[in-house]
Chains A and B, each alone.
Chain A
Amino acid sequence: MAATELKKEEVRQAVVLADDFSTNLHPMQTLYPSALMPVFHIPLLEYLTETLVRNDIQELFLYCSNHVESLRSYVQSQNYKGLINVHLIVSDGCRSLGDALRDIDSKGIIRGDFILIRGDAFTNANLKRLLDWHRFKSKQDKGAAMTLIFRDLGSNNFPVKENKTCLIAADNSNNKVLFHQKLSEKDRKVKLELQLFLDHDCVRIHSGLLETHIYLCSASVLPLFSDNFDFQTMEDFIRGVLINEEILDSRIYWQKLDPEEYALPVTSWRDYNTLIRDILQKRGYPLTIEMMPSCMYFLYLRRCTYKHNSSILGKGCTLERDCVVCPNSNVGENTRITGSVIGEGCNLGNNVRLENSYLLGKVRIGDDCIVKNSVLFSGCELGNSVEIDGCILGPKFKLKLESVHTDSLMQIDSNDCITYISMSKAHPDTDQELPYFKYTCTNESDDDSDDLEDYSSSDEESIAEMPLTDDTHMFFTEVMESLMRGYQDKVKCENLILEINSSRYAYNVTIREVSYNVVKAVLSLPMEYLSNSGSEISSKSYQKTLKLMLEYFDMVILNYVKSYEAQTDCLRAIQDTAATLDTVSSILFVFKNLYNCDILSEEKILEWYELDDEDNDDVMQKQVRLKMKKDIQPLVRWLREAEEDSSD
Chain B
Amino acid sequence: MVADVPDNIHPSVLTLIRDINYGRINGSYNIVVSTVSLLKNIINNSEWNTAEELMKLIKENGKVLIDSVPIESSIGSMVRRILKIIREEYISELKHRTEETDPQESLHKILTAGGDQENDYSHSVPSLKSALIEHITEFQVELETCSENITEQASEHIHSNEIIMTLGRSRMVEDFLKKATESRTFEVIVAEGAPFLNGHEMAVNLAKAKIKTTLISDVAIFAMMSRVNKVIIGTHTVMANGGLRSITGCHTVALAAKHYSVPVTVLLPLYKLSPLYLCSYEQDAFNKHVSPTQGVIDGTNSLLMEKIQAYNPVFDYVPPELVTLFVTNTLVITLHTAFNVWQIIPTYFFSFQWRKCTVLHLQIAKRVVPSR
Contact = CB atoms under 8 A, between A and B. Distances in A.
Does A touch B (CB under 8 Å) in the complex?
yes
A97 to B, nearest CB: 26
Contact of B289 (A49, A80, A262, A300): A300
Contact of A154 (B14, B303, B311): B303
Given A293-B2, A294-B1, A294-B3, A259 B299 contact: yes
Given A50-B1, A293-B3, A282 B303 contact: no
A300 B285 contact: yes
Contact of A259 (B4, B22, B68, B293): B293
A579 interface: no
Contact of A301 (B14, B285, B293): B285
A259 B302 CA distance: 10
A79 B2 contact: yes
A288 B1 CA distance: 15
A219 interface: no
A49 B291 CA distance: 20
A321 B312 contact: no
Interface in B197-228: none
B21 interface: yes
A300 B1 contact: no
A281 B305 CA distance: 10
Interface string B304-317: 01110111100000
B288 to A, nearest CB: 9
Contacts of B299: 258-262
A83 B1 contact: yes
Interface residues of A, number: 43
Given A260-B293, A288-B289, A152 B1 contact: no
A313 to B, nearest CB: 13
Contacts of B305: 278, 283
B324 to A, nearest CB: 31
B315 to A, nearest CB: 13
Interface string A618-636: 0000000000000000000
Interface string B275-305: 0000000111100011111100011111101
A202 interface: no
Contact of A155 (B303, B307, B312): B303
B248 to A, nearest CB: 15
A374 B298 CA distance: 31
A260 B3 contact: no
Contacts of B302: 153-155
Nearest to A84: B1
B371 to A, nearest CB: 12
A296 B68 contact: yes
A248 interface: no
A283 B284 contact: no
Nearest to B304: A154
Contacts of B1: 49-50, 53, 78-80, 83, 293-294
A468 interface: no
B292 A281 contact: yes
A242 interface: no
A54 interface: yes
17 contacts: A79-B2, A83-B18, A154-B303, A155-B301, A259-B299, A259-B300, A282-B292, A283-B291, A283-B305, A285-B289, A285-B294, A291-B21, A293-B3, A294-B1, A296-B68, A302-B284, A321-B309
Given A286-B21, A304-B309, A321-B309, 6 more contacts: A50-B1, A285-B290, A293-B21, A296-B3, A296-B4, A302-B284
Interface of A: 49-50, 53-54, 78-80, 82-83, 152-155, 157-158, 258-262, 274, 278, 281-286, 288, 290-291, 293-294, 296-297, 299-304, 321, 447
